[in-house]
Amino acid sequence: MLIEHLGKTPTIHGDAYVAPDATVCGDVAIGAGARIMHGARIIAENGKIDIGSNCIILQNAVVRATGAHDCTIGRNTLIGPSVHVVGATVDKDVFLATGTSIFHASRIGSDSVVRINGVVHVNTVLEPGTTIPIGWIAVGNPAQLFSPDRHEEIWEVQSRLNFTRTAYGLDAPLSGSMEVVAGAVSKRLSEHAKDSVTD
């Protein structure tokens, strides 16, 4: 399904394929040979998404852009099932395995691999050719890699990356501020009330 959002309509190369139950919304460009498979959601919310040639986005993956963070997926990148990428730059020839999460203002260097359930946090930069092990977390610029049981070490780096400002444009911390955060996000998402299906 193709959806116009804020006056922007997706542009899909004639050699690309979008499954009939996938959603492509807003200012999205999809290159030649790209394949957007069943249940995938490609949503540009007042930002831009550019998906390069021969990219594969598999079942139920979500790729999002926001007003503060466009999203770019480089050519020959494979995004596995149930992956979440928001407001990030993913260079060419990258593999994001099932269940990975790539957050706002992060950058994945070319020829990198993020294995099953790996996480790349906000404002994190992976050098080209980096591999994130299964379930591990990358944090910082340059990225430091942590196993998930090292929460205190992760938080020591992550706390300086200002998640709430990067993701939501707010200075309030998440803890104790969800009324403010949810209110701001609700207001932004209300823009979808004027969306229209174009296909």
Burial of 152: CB neighbours in 10 Å, binned 0-12, 13-18, 19+: exposed
12-21 tens-digit pLDDT = 999 999 999 9
From residue 97, give the alpha-carbon distance in Å to each of 5, 57, 112: 29, 11, 11
Q: Which domain holds residue 8?
A: 2-197
Do 125 and 142 meet the contact criterion of CB atoms below 8 Å apart?
Answer: yes
Q: In the chain, count H helices and then E strands.
A: 3, 22
Give me the CATH number covering residue 193: 2.160.10.10
Closest to 50 measured CA to CA, from 7, 95, 8, 12: 12
Mean pLDDT, rounded, of the chain: 91
The domain total for the chain is 1
41-54 tens-digit pLDDT = 999 998 999 999 99
